[in-house]
Homo-oligomer: A and B are copies of this chain.
């Protein structure tokens, strides 16, 4: 029945007709809001209230069901109880409605039963070509398009201010929180999307639509989780190319704390470091404070990621500027004094500025154009990557003058953050009207500048090493899928790592207690069994053995394995050379349920368990990224020429990190998790060697056999 081919974005944001399914005629009910809000905010298309009990609602003709509503329907907004939703979905499909937004709750947010209900509606919608927003969401608002299709109470709050900010939120109530705070500051919005349970259209796909939206200048994300990380990564790359910053506030930073003492790679990599790695890799700016979400866009608009972390701070009011500078210092920014030549030049012009990190505007300078002259000099200079200007009481008593002075300084030469120390809402609004980023607190100012300093160009996709992958696949095919186990024993894991190019300690496998052993020692002796996880605790690992003790240990392990673990598969006993080097690291791979395969590099030994020092990246990683990871692990500074200590083979370690990351892409089986612990780093030029390793397959995705 749709006569015309319209894009998803058009149906979603600019529908010509909207069915309000479950519309109420009681103005006090939530279900009455969308109709009231649409009209109140100037929607000029057709509104089709759907309510079997009424012929008319608030002056619009009402219809008993979607089926009987006349003409093409671009967008359905569903407010009926959860149990009635499937039928509405069917009717929408029948009527070839392209997109439906489901406000109704009672789905995945309730647990298993609700999840099943949700899956069922997605299945119906997919079959009928219907895209879904929600369920359990607040709706969609197109501010310049006068389409307020939402139940959010903030829409009762008066006119919306159009502007370049678009918001995608996994929490519906955050839209009201952000709008109510940003609009009085002079900030305007384009599209607002509440995603609820995100059963179909997700953050990434919506962000992708907004990259092409001419009214959207910046995409703001309020995230609780990742459900479509690949889409989001793709959208973020496109947004970066289009010059539209993507800025995220993400919950879940304190999971880190909860996992702090865990020892295993999987648990050591907290969700939040991963999220940070993801944002960084894809050019998304991450903020730590709520109001930074709408304060930051103007700071970065028109700018590219910075070259360094150097910030110039200019002020006429000491205490307030020190608050920003101090916090910037805590966040790892360098607050830098102007170069001597600039100080001399300005002093020669009668502007006796200090040579301290915080540049003070000389007394009375505000009357003499000093502010503009000094700010211009900082914005034009390449000694800093961003400029912070802190303004005191004049921003309250004289906001117009302050805004003019800032504008005269050419504020777009470089990211400029202006913090107004007193309460100065008018000053903030004036700055924003001139597209200058104004900040309400010293903390959000420092947070936003830091988010800019952390901003990186999206990393190019790392090419896979086809040769290594082929070798690894050959090993996996040769090993086959061992019956009854989802993991490789130490020897086979070593063979796989070796195929990828990671050297492993020389070893022989002893298959029976009586087999001759060709080793004088010192060696490590380990039982080979995928079924005994904590071998050290089970005394199935002996280190540093020499001479006859070797054979004795081998015999003892066979005997004890048979007695103590009669159910365990035993693949023999490994006799492996003891390896020594300058340091031990843990190198791991795992599949994050939200973000996919990630590589983790951490310091080894028991200290690593007490104080988590590690670095994480999405796989695959380039050699350059691997070197960055090594730099991020504090203890590994010991290997990089610290205090005349011998240097470690950092290049070999970087290659091993890259090789481990390739393991995510083998095709013979799907690796769920892999770990080398320890990987020993030897002296420069002597390489690295894997001493113990673990590979676990994901049998659900096992492309090699059993399902």
Contact = CB atoms under 8 A, between A and B. Distances in A.
A224 B329 contact: no
A154 B423 CA distance: 11
18 contacts: A152-B393, A157-B396, A170-B319, A173-B318, A173-B319, A173-B320, A173-B421, A176-B392, A177-B422, A251-B326, A252-B326, A253-B327, A254-B326, A290-B323, A606-B642, A606-B643, A609-B643, A611-B611
Q: Which of A170, A319, A322, A323 has the most CB of B within 10 A?
A: A319
A328 interface: yes
Interface stretch (A8-16, A540-548, A570-578, A633-641): A633-641
A638 B610 contact: yes
A702 interface: no
A330 interface: yes
B635 A329 contact: no
A174 B634 contact: no
A257 B609 CA distance: 24
Interface in A116-133: none
Contacts of A332: 257
Interface string A358-400: 0000000000000000000000000000000000110011000
Contact of A180 (B181, B422, B613): B422
Interface in A171-210: 171-174, 176-177, 180-181, 184
Contacts of A397: 153, 156
A326 B181 contact: no
A549 interface: no
Q: How many copies does the complex hold?
A: 2
Contacts of A534: none
A173 B317 contact: yes
Contacts of A254: 325-330
Interface in A499-534: none
A-B pairs, 5 with minimum CB distance: A254-B329, A171-B319, A180-B422, A153-B393, A180-B423
A393 B176 contact: yes
Interface in A243-302: 251-258, 289-291
A442 interface: yes
A252 B184 CA distance: 33
A222 interface: yes
